[in-house]
Chain A
Amino acid sequence: MDMDSEGNEMSPETEQITQLSLMDQKSLDPEVSLSRYVMRNVVRPVKLDGEQLEQWILPAAEFSGDIFAAEMTAGGRLNMILADGSGHGLGTAICMMPITDVFYAMASKGSPIPSIAKELNQKMVQLLPKDRFVTALLASINWASKKVEVWNGGSPAPFFLNKEGEYLKIWKSQHLPLGILSSQDFDDTVESFQWEHPGQFLMFTDGLTTAKNGEDEIFGTERMHQVLLGSSPDERFRDLKTAVIDHISEEEAGDDISLISINCDPELLPKTEKKELQNQEKAYAPSTWKVSLHLNETDMKNIDVLPVMLAWLKQVGIDQKDTQRLFLIISELYTNALDHGLLRLDSSLKSSSSGFDEYLEQRSQRINNLEKGSIEIKLERMLDLEGDIMKIRMEDSGEGFDFIALFRDLEKTDDSDIVNLHGKGMALVYTLTQNMQYFNQGKVIELEYLLSN
């Protein structure tokens, strides 16, 4: 949306005039025109029908150091970032560009907020000089589960307001800004809130509260509270914007000002959500399938089941990256079911090189001697709120195992420890999938893999 210096929406006519006059001033500087063109295209318009989201961004210089980007996931979750680079003007705007790239790439796939935060931080550490950083708010709104999740690194606290304009939740800054800490030290913890009654989620950059009037008085949080309390939900955004504009009146904004309001009313979303899901169902309808494979002891001796699964995944059009990962997951689960579930092999044998030979020997011996046993593999491709999902279920007829202990190991393992963990295959599966669950003393495992498409 284009604004004039008073923050009013421009009519196409005034916009044209402004552009012409800018052309006049800047025609000698093609670099500025080019930069203007690129910066305008850095942020995409949000695909929402307007009722859920209101935004106001007022740059202090020609190029804004504030960036707001939002992307709806297929499952109807809105991922957002509001970032404020140190300084303003072209230099800062350039520093901010990679943020939107990374954000859009991850957010549209439905990546969770912690992963996006971590990736953005790494990118900023890599790109920015030591004395530059970006304060940022990452938030996701899920209308279906009525949940708001926020990662706040150095930004003024956003809040959730009820109908009366009272604060039900305030997300104080818990983290250092992006671009300071190494990935190792980076903290990606988010704080979530679940609403019972519809309300509003409001976020802003510090330019709003520090905006000064002619007497050098800042707008301040107290004035903001008063405006919010004295206003109805429908008018709250507009009233706050007007109050800030009245406050700075003739003054120029000293810093970029951004204000975003999200309407958290489940009644409002279904339009967009249903529309998207319906479209998806249309597009994917032929591809929501179930397949199950039941192998008895004879089959296990004679059929190499993994190439069969691989061929199936390729046949139904799963892309290469997903196929590779799914193959890895399925082969790990199958090996576990067969080697440990049915053949009761001890995986600690695999640790040493001599032990590994022995392991393989025992394995072929035991499989030949296996008198009774079965493994069932089920794959189901489905759509749910999180997106396009492959559900995998594996059941063996063995005696089960202590899966509680396995989970304990998995929970305390981070990526760097995977190599040291005994069941490193399962740790990998755990990081690649979601909702992993064991049933029936560990004889059944179920998990979900989010397809990237």
Chain B
Amino acid sequence: MSFSVNTKNTNGTLELHLSGRFDFNANQIFRKAYQNGLDNTVTSYVVLDFSGVEYMDSSALGMLLLLKDYGDKENKRIELINCQDTVREILDIVNFGKLFTIR
């Protein structure tokens, strides 16, 4: 399944619902989604909902690092939620819990 992002903005929280394969091909879609979201809304809080992501690779981890870098410059808090087991396992091995809140 190809990658897509649904953006929702409620009460100062930017929610990005990700679905499909989160890999190198997702790069542009993902970056545009969070840049648009962060540039055009007043928000201090970004939530990435991973419930629709069944697979992620190391370039997806790289994209998360870029998002963090982007968010850090503007003091945004970033949370990753609803990770499936396979995704959670990858995030745990690379200890991304030290960079993001993972729920």
Contacts and interface: CB of A to CB of B under 8 A. Distances in A.
Given A130-B66, A133-B65, A174 B95 contact: yes
A180 B58 contact: no
Interface string A163-186: 000000000011111001000000
Contacts of A180: 65, 99
A177 B59 CA distance: 14
B69 A154 contact: no
Interface string B60-76: 01110110010000000
B96 interface: yes
Interface of A is mostly: loop
Interface string A133-172: 1010000000000000000011110000000000000000
A156 B93 contact: yes
Interface string A111-136: 00000000000000000001111010
A173 B62 CA distance: 18
A176 B98 CA distance: 8
A423 interface: no
Contacts of B66: 130-131
Contacts of B92: 173
User: Most chain-A CB neighbours within 10 Å: which of B58, B63, B65?
Assistant: B58
Interface string B80-103: 000000000000111110110000
Given A86-B58, A87-B58, A130-B69, A176 B63 contact: no
Given A130-B66, A131-B66, A176 B96 contact: yes
A187 to B, nearest CB: 9
Interface of A: 86-87, 130-133, 135, 153-156, 173-177, 180, 206
Contacts of A154: 93-95
7 contacts: A86-B61, A87-B59, A132-B62, A133-B94, A155-B93, A173-B92, A176-B98
Q: Which 4 A-B pairs have the closest CB atoms?
A: A131-B62, A86-B58, A154-B94, A176-B95
Determine the interface band of chain B, counting residues with CB < 8 A from chain A: 10 to 19
Contact of B95 (A132, A156, A173, A206): A173
B93 A86 contact: no
B95 A131 contact: no
A130 B94 contact: no
A337 B96 CA distance: 50
A233 B95 CA distance: 32
Contacts of B62: 86, 130-133
Contacts of B93: 135, 154-156, 173, 206
Interface string B31-67: 0000000000000000000000000001101110110
A86 B64 CA distance: 13
Given A86-B58, A173-B94, A175-B95, 5 more contacts: A87-B59, A130-B65, A176-B95, A176-B98, A176-B99
